[in-house]
């Protein structure tokens, strides 16, 4: 296990699945060109959060890793489709732009297991329903709303890629004026050949 870079302290933590940003490069470029205060996620930071922990005690990392390893039991590596753009809370009031994930039932199962088990360590379960998505941009204000909605509409049914999920990762998020810096702490690999004799 990799030790936490800030021993005996708390850090902003979350458990995530990583995705390759290359298939999203063009749409990220289009979003970045929209007139407004819109912050795109850095390609190296593209991920889907399974469980946001918030303030995380360094001493909890080994227990969190155990929970992660339990959460992936019986779930073999699988493919998900990165398909369609959308907005939270809706296209009338856009605060987040996201790409959807299809065939993501296993992501929902892992998220459910993490929520249940981490509650015993002191991390609050997520109350919102699980909606598999990757955040692409956060919108503070928008001048060219029509242009942004046009990008969403034109990509409503776009399938950007199919990607393989093989592991989940506990990450530390360090907030900086130039955006967050993520550091991988521990991981749990999805088991191979679960049903093999």
State pLDDT tens for residues 68-125: 999 999 999 999 999 999 999 999 999 999 999 999 999 999 999 999 999 999 999 8
Q: What are phi and psi of 182, to 5 degrees?
A: -100, 140
Task: Give me the half-sphere count of Cα atoms (radius 13 Å) on the Cβ side of residue 107.
Answer: 29
Show which residues are catalytic. Answer: 47, 133
49 token code pair: 């959060």
Say if CB 19 and CB 104 are below 8 A apart: no
Say if CB 148 and CB 136 are below 8 A apart: no
Altogether, the residues listed in the chain come to a count of 197
Q: Which domains does the chain have, with CATH numbers?
A: 11-189 (3.90.1140.10)
Query: Has this prediction a pTM greater than 0.85?
Result: yes
Say if CB 88 and CB 25 are below 8 A apart: no
Write out the chain's pLDDT in tens, 197 residues: 455 554 558 999 999 999 999 999 999 999 999 998 999 999 999 999 999 999 999 999 999 999 999 999 999 999 999 999 999 999 999 999 999 999 999 999 999 999 999 999 999 988 888 999 999 999 999 999 999 999 999 999 999 999 999 999 999 999 888 889 999 999 999 998 755 44
The alpha carbon of 13 is separated from its chain's Cα centroid by a whole number of angstroms, namely: 12
């Amino acid at each position: 296990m990799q030790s936490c870079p800030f021993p005996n302290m708390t850090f902003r933590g979350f458990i995530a699945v990583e995705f390759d940003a290359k298939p999203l490069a063009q749409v990220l470029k289009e979003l970045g060109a929209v007139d407004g205060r819109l912050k795109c996620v850095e390609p190296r930071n593209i991920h889907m959060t399974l469980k946001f922990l918030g303030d995380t005690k360094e001493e909890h990392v080994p227990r969190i890793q155990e929970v992660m390893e339990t959460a992936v039991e019986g779930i073999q590596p699988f493919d998900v489709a990165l398909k369609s753009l959308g907005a939270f809370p809706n296209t009338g009031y856009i605060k987040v732009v996201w790409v959807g994930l299809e065939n993501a039932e296993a992501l929902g199962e892992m998220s459910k297991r993490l929520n249940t088990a981490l509650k015993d360590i002191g991390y609050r379960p997520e109350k919102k329903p699980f909606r598999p998505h990757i955040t692409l941009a956060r919108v503070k204000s928008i001048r060219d709303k029509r242009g942004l909605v046009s990008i969403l509409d034109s990509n409503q049914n776009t399938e950007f890629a199919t990607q393989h999920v093989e592991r989940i990762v506990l990450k530390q998020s360090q907030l900086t004026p130039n955006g967050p810096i993520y550091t991988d702490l521990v991981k749990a690999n999805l088991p191979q050949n679960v049903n093999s004799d």
